[in-house]
Amino acid sequence: MFRIFALSFLALTTTMAPVWAEDHVVNMLNRGDDGIMVFEPGLLVIEPGDTVRFVAAERGHNAETIDGMIPEGAAGFAGRLNEEVMFSPDKEGVYAVKCKPHYAMGMVMIIAVGEAQAPEEFVARRVPPRARKRFEAYLDTL
Ligand SMILES: [Cu+2]
């Protein structure tokens, strides 16, 4: 009896939780391959249900979504300074993330969920020039 229960429970949980769900790590760094004040990687393409973990590899950084630069109706997030934060996007689309203290220095990154492309006007809004440059570079490789 217990065995049947255990098996059906297993079947239920495996159908509920996507087995392909992955955890992705993004490091917040003072210096990386793309220069100073960077998220690594700067572009992350993930599947719905995946989780992104922002690691405070070096001090002075946070990670948060940028208002107006996430899919319509999607939930954003805001991590605290010097702390690790997890984010599981709830909608397909393109999410822009910044480090608040270093936004003007271009510390931004892109999370693309699913088959998403950025909307035309994505970086047309008021984005600091260095942030815009990195957004455009990341989006070019999407
Ligand atoms: Cu920073």
Q: What is the pLDDT of residue 43?
A: 97
Round to whole Å and give the CA distance between 47 and 109.
17
Ligand 1 center–CA 6 separation, angstroms:
47
List of domains in the chain: 2-141 (2.60.40.420)
- Per-block average pLDDT, block size 10, for the chain (142 residues)? 52 56 96 95 96 97 96 96 97 97 98 89 86 94 89
Cα-to-centroid distance, 24 and ligand 1 (Å): 19
The whole-angstrom separation of Cα 5 and Cα 101 is 52
Residue 16: the pLDDT is 54
Task: To the nearest 10°, report the CA torsion of 78, 81, 83, 87.
Answer: 20
Report how far ligand 1's centroid is from the alpha carbon of 11 (Å).
Answer: 43
pTM above 0.75, yes or no: yes
Task: State residue 92's pLDDT score.
Answer: 96
- pLDDT value of residue 44: 97
Closest CA to 97 of 60, 48, 61, 59: 61
What is each CA distance from 3 to 8, 9, 10, 15, 100, in whole angstroms? 9, 10, 10, 18, 52
- Calculate how far, in angstroms, residue 108's C-alpha sits from the geometric centre of ligand 1: 9
